[in-house]
Chain A
Amino acid sequence: MGEAKKFPYASEVVLPPELEGWEEMYPPQRLFSKDREAWENKHFWYQDKIHAPEPMYPLDDIFQEAWQISLSQFTTRVFCIPPAQGVAQRMLGCYMYITAVEPPPPEVIGEKAEHFQKRVFYVFENYDDLWDKWLNKFQALGREMEALKIPKEFDKYVPDSEIFPAPRGYTQAYEIIEAFNTIISQIFKAWQYHFEYLNLAYLGYLMFVDTARKLFPGIKESTIGKMVAGAEVSMFRPEEELCRLSRLAIGQPPVAEILKKNISAEKKMEELRAIDAGRVWLEEIDRIKNPWFFVSCGSGWYHFEGSWTNKMDVPFSYMQSYVQRLEKGEKIERSLTAISEERDRIVSEYKALIKTDEDRKSFEDAYKVVRTIYRYAEDHLFWVEHWLHTIWFEKIREFGDILVKNNVLKKTDDIFLFNRFEVPMLLEDLATAWALGVGAPTRGKFWMEKAAKREKILEAARKWMAVPGLGVPPEEVSEPFTVMLWGVTTDKVADWLKGSEVESKDVTEIKGFASSAGVAEGPARVLKLLEDVVKLQAGEIMVAPCTNPSWAPVFTKIKAAVTDIGGLTSHAAIVSREYGLPSVTGTGIATSVIKTGDIIKVDGSTGVVTIVKRV
């Protein structure tokens, strides 16, 4: 051994030839480069499998771009977390790598400390009020985005209404350009808001972990997760609505009968519309659809994941199984009281074990701090990644539609193959051709060819096993997200190093967080996308990149859960504990190492997944 272990530097990574041309999809400031090489090589970069587990579509990259600024600024310039700096991103081979920027010089740490104390203290003192303000402004922003007018088609001639009594002075050519500029500003602003309290919420959590560990050296992070997790957070609401709708259906037998049929959601809605009770029930969906069906079928980070609102088969399949279970007399709702009671019991029993009054007081106080702010980590997720992203994708598709109608693009979703600096070029091309009059060509052929080429590159990138890390791992990390969200720990990096040396078919054991106790063995079902959920058989073990609230009903069917991404407070971990299923999260490589049909053993107490038999 001896020699310090390291990953290749970015410049040493050899990409498959089919990826040629990948760089042009992303703006130059997002790429590794010769001119910044010295700085880049000083940092340890790791593939961000939380936000970018899949090759990045250029327009989906906008969220990443936005969080790089927002997450970092709240640490460095707003709340001024003394030794921490931001998280930088780079694209390589269509995958995103990130790094915690090295700490600032000592004098800067001192300066920041003053601001930090004052500002953070204020937030904790006023959090309840600040959360209300946050939610109000965020919902207002989402409604503005929804209200944004995007031309459906260019008028042959501007209508009279825009001329008389006084000409408006601008046309759809301007409107479409402005609308895109506006929606870009809106998504950036939403992502500014996204981190308003998140850095503090994560720090609060890490503080509580430290405090609990000092008192109880062996306390598991899953137990700490149980202590801090909220039961009544927005994230759980969509599933609660499904339960409620299923109960309503049970009260109206003809509705329940239709819901139980093995036909598409579209067909079910058609049949429901044909009967009175069905229409009433559908009205109830319409009433709550916005916001509670604005749930991504994936993480919310990719356009192709879809949302319940445009993939109604997903919520309808859940309701189908809920109705069946209700008819069998089973209970489908999570018991909020039971969850809260269990949390209170755990906290008070641990508290009773503390040996001195002095420590008990500090523990109580630390708990109060984390409970004050931690809700934010759970609440913001629904409003930003699910609700607002659903609106965003729908609106972006309106731009795609008009480009398709005018032969600039082939398919609506091809717009996602162009980055946010390029889309204005397509729109300008379109607006110009309209303005020029009859017969003026766009560069539609050029854009379409580009789209086709990019789709091929992304396809090749999907098959490429990206290296997990780049450069030399650091000795210490101060950046709260790096520790908590990405779970970068000594063990994790060591596992990545190990993983980068062996072929995936030779791996027989993978490690992650012991998120929910228990042991289960059975056939694996690898679900890269929620749509694959239709293939899931009862009693299988789910292996997924990560899960989110729209996956919740899946947990009633499976034996155990394994994810690539996510710590002990990740969605998969929380829900597994609620359903009493063993789970191992944050393995980093489960979906690439395990194949559907492999017999695997999940030990949620030790965090080990063993591949017992390969298919």
Chain B
Amino acid sequence: MAEKWIYWLKEVGQEDNNVVGKKCANLGELTKAGFHVPPGFALGVEAYSRFMKETEATDLLLKFLDDFHADPNNVADTLKYEEASNRMRALIESVKMPPDMEKTIKEYYTEMCRIAGCENIYVATRSAGPMSHPGQYETYLNVCGEGDVVFNVIRVWSSTFNTRSVIARARLNLPLHYDPIGVAVLTMVDAKAAGVMFTVNPVNGDESKVAIEGSFGYGEAVVSGNVTPDRYLVDKITFEIDEKVISDKGNEFVYNPETKEMEYVELPPDQRKRQCLEDKEVLELTRLAKKVEAHFGCPQDIEWSISRSLPFPESIFLVQARPESVWGKKKREPVLGKKSGMELFFERATTPVKLKM
């Protein structure tokens, strides 16, 4: 029997990293655990393999690469890689998907539309590598209609041939023509605001805080660092908002229905410095962050999105969760030096408080 290559999110979990890629596995895990995740499905790495094998893609790539020579550690060769990348991507994106795969993907999409109760819903096609390579592969937003879904799945696959990925593989001496990843096809959240949050204060490793960054529009604005987000620091235990920094956010990242492209639009002056989240949303995000952290058992880096059309709190979606990479890995060193309460008391009594003028 042929290996399974497509899954509903709720069918996969953390253990399926290598099957569907990290992002899909985590989203599946969150879905199964009952978190509010945009509904969708995942294409496993097997789908990538089948596509590459069953079409002529692999052969074409190998043929092309026979004549390609460049040194990944030589900056001057970057242009060569860029050109090669363009050629390879064009090549893949011109290949037609095996009919049974195309049919299945369209069926899954149609089922998503049926469940959502509307025709041609908007989805995001997101890359999901088995290893975490944040920002290396590509994601396409506001994809609509079954034909576009199929095409954008291929575009995500082809993004494993973007310049930075090809150079990265060349440096590691990995084969250049093959880098199987999963793809998540997720319902788009019509985000009024989105961003990321950490279940630890990224500044000092204080695990009693949740640090939230958000901005108007879609989350890519925050993740990519293209806007200065609002910042909130919330105490996980008392649920008090300790710090609130409202920034001049400048632009918001939104979908332009005319061009069918995502674009940065300058916010009107009275909007730029407005708080992008209501306090109740900040607190609800904190509650969710705590739950996600408890579910995975270590500090998390979570992406979230708030829908404009749904009522609070259903408006809040989690679109990604992964272990926080800096503080989560730090060794847990004691800081109080094995002192007893009385020893700490004596220490305090003998240490003056500095006043800095």
Contact = CB atoms under 8 A, between A and B. Distances in A.
Interface of A: 4-5, 81-84, 103, 109, 113, 116-117, 120-121, 124, 203-204, 206-207, 210-211, 214-220, 222-223, 226, 345-346, 349-350, 353, 355-356, 358-359, 362-363, 365-370, 473-478, 480, 483, 488-490, 493-494, 517, 605-606
A605 B335 contact: no
A544 B175 CA distance: 74
A5 B233 CA distance: 33
- Give the 6 A-B residue pairs with the shortest CB-CB distance, closest first: A365-B341, A369-B341, A207-B348, A355-B332, A362-B336, A478-B352
Contact of A493 (B207, B244, B352, B357): B357
Contacts of B280: none
Given A218-B206, A350-B208, A606-B244, A359 B335 contact: yes
A359 B241 contact: no
A117 B208 CA distance: 33
Interface in B331-357: 332-342, 344-357
A369 B334 contact: no
Contact of A488 (B209, B332, B341, B355): B355
12 contacts: A83-B349, A84-B349, A204-B345, A207-B349, A223-B235, A349-B237, A362-B334, A368-B341, A476-B353, A488-B355, A517-B238, A605-B241
Contacts of B241: 517, 605
A203 B334 CA distance: 23
B128 to A, nearest CB: 31
B220 to A, nearest CB: 29
Contacts of A116: 346, 349
Contacts of A366: 341, 344-345
Contact of A473 (B205, B206, B355): B355
Main secondary structure of the interface of B (DSSP, over half): loop
Contact of A353 (B207, B242, B244, B334): B207
B111 interface: no
A398 B170 CA distance: 98
Contact of B206 (A217, A488, A489, A493): A217
A356 B355 contact: no
B357 A220 contact: no
Contacts of B347: 207
B355 A363 contact: no
Given A369-B342, A473-B355, 18 more contacts: A124-B345, A215-B335, A216-B206, A218-B204, A220-B235, A222-B240, A223-B235, A350-B237, A353-B236, A355-B332, A356-B332, A358-B334, A475-B354, A476-B353, A477-B353, A480-B349, A493-B355, A517-B240
Q: Which of A217, A370, A480 has the most CB of B within 10 A?
A: A217
B233 A359 contact: no
B208 A216 contact: yes
B342 A356 contact: no
B201 interface: yes
B342 A218 contact: no
Contacts of A350: 208, 237
Contacts of A226: 238
Contacts, number: 152
Given A369-B341, A517-B241, A83 B352 contact: yes
Interface string B269-285: 00000000000000000
B357 A365 contact: no
B355 A220 contact: no
Contacts of B335: 214-215, 359
B352 A103 contact: yes
B333 A203 contact: no
A475 B333 CA distance: 31
Contacts of A83: 349-352
A423 B225 CA distance: 74
A592 to B, nearest CB: 24
A81 B353 CA distance: 14
Given A4-B357, A369-B341, A369-B344, A203 B349 contact: yes
A218 B338 CA distance: 22
Given A353-B208, A355-B332, A363-B336, A210 B357 contact: no
A595 to B, nearest CB: 28
Nearest to A4: B357
Contacts of A365: 340-342, 344
B353 A483 contact: yes
B349 A605 contact: no
Nearest to A348: B237
Contacts of A489: 353, 355
Contact of A121 (B342, B344, B351): B342
Contact of B345 (A214, A215, A369, A473): A369
Given A216-B208, A362-B336, A475-B357, A210 B238 contact: no
Interface in B241-264: 241-244
Nearest to A368: B341
A83 B357 CA distance: 21
A363 B336 CA distance: 8
A211 B206 contact: no
B344 A210 contact: yes
A4 B354 CA distance: 16
Given A218-B233, A220-B235, A346-B237, A113 B350 contact: yes
Contact of B354 (A215, A355, A476, A517): A476
Contacts of A220: 235, 238, 240, 242
B242 A605 contact: yes
B208 A219 contact: yes
A263 to B, nearest CB: 43
Contacts of B243: 606
A358 B338 contact: yes
B177 to A, nearest CB: 45
A369 B237 CA distance: 22
Interface in B180-212: 201, 204-209
A29 to B, nearest CB: 28
A337 B344 CA distance: 30
Contact of B356 (A103, A124, A478, A490): A490
A151 B344 CA distance: 54
Contacts of A103: 352
A356 B330 CA distance: 13
A349 B293 CA distance: 14
Contact of A203 (B337, B340, B348): B348
A583 to B, nearest CB: 13
Contacts of B354: 475-476, 490
Contacts of B353: 476-478, 483, 489
Contacts of A475: 354-357
Given A353-B207, A358-B338, A359-B334, A490 B345 contact: no
A82 B336 contact: no
B244 A605 contact: yes
Nearest to B238: A223
Contacts of A81: 349
Contacts of B207: 216, 353, 355
A369 B341 CA distance: 6
Contacts of B204: 217-218
Given A220-B235, A366-B344, A215 B336 contact: yes
Contact of A477 (B206, B334, B338, B355): B355
Contact of A82 (B334, B345, B349): B349
Nearest to A369: B341
B336 A358 contact: yes
A350 B235 CA distance: 10
B236 to A, nearest CB: 8
In this complex, the member of B243, B336, B338, B357 whose beta carbon has the largest number of chain A beta carbons within 10 angstroms is B336
A47 B293 CA distance: 48
A474 B352 CA distance: 11
Contacts of B237: 223, 345-346, 349-350
A117 B349 CA distance: 10
Contacts of A203: 345, 348-349
Contacts of A218: 201, 204, 206, 208-209, 233, 235, 242
A355 B208 CA distance: 11
